[in-house]
Every structure is written in structure tokens, then in C-alpha cells.
């Protein structure tokens, strides 16, 4: 299973409920959550064959911003 992480501006429970119907429409997602205690409001998405562009698009359609977070090696080779 693939795990993707995104920096977002989804900063409260109400924001999560607003984004929920959009994120639930992203193909191949098995589950998602937003860490509201994290300063970057990290959205973690899990699933097989999840496309980060689809996640970002749906977050934007919900009225929020998302930017994929890449680990150290991802930064080196992106």
C-alpha cells in the first residue's frame, strides 16, 4: 500500500468535514487523515495506485491548498 503526505491548510474539524466528500472521491484511496496538531496540517493518504495530482485537485476543489511532502530522497531526486 502506498502512503502519500501533503502539507495543507485544512486546520480544523469543520475544514476536515468540508474536505471529506471531495477526498472520498479520489480514486484508489483506502483511507486518509489530517493531523491537525502538526504545524503543517499534514494530510496522509493511503491506497494502491493513488495519484498525488488527484488528491491535490480534490483538496483545491474543496477550497483548500495541498502540496505534496517528499522525504529526503524525494527532494534529492525530484
**Domain interval for residue 43:** 2-72
Which tens digits make up the pLDDT trace of 20-71?
999 999 999 999 999 999 999 999 999 999 999 999 999 999 999 999 998 6
Binning pLDDT at 50, 70 and 90, where does residue 1 land? confident
Assess whether pLDDT exceeds 50 at residue 4: yes
| Average pLDDT over every residue of 9-28 | 95
Provide the 10 A C-beta neighbour count for residue 45: 24
CA dist 68 and 46 (Å) reads 13
The pTM assigned to this predicted structure is 0.87
Q: Per the structure block, which three cell numbers stand in for 23?
A: 477526498
In a domain, 7, yes or no: yes
Q: Taking residues 12-21, what's their average pLDDT?
A: 96
CB 32 within 8 A of CB 44: yes
* pLDDT given at position 71: 67
Whether 28 maps to a domain, the answer reads yes
Domain harbouring 12, CATH code: 3.30.70.100
Amino acid at each position: 500500500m502506498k502512503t502519500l503526505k501533503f502539507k495543507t491548510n485544512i486546520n480544523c474539524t469543520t475544514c476536515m468535514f468540508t474536505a471529506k466528500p471531495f477526498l472520498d472521491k479520489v480514486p484508489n484511496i483506502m483511507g486518509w487523515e489530517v493531523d491537525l496538531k502538526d504545524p503543517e496540517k499534514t494530510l496522509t493518504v493511503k491506497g494502491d495506485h493513488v495519484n498525488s495530482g488527484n488528491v491535490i485537485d480534490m483538496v483545491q476543489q474543496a477550497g483548500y491548498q495541498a502540496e505534496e511532502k517528499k522525504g529526503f530522497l524525494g527532494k534529492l531526486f525530484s
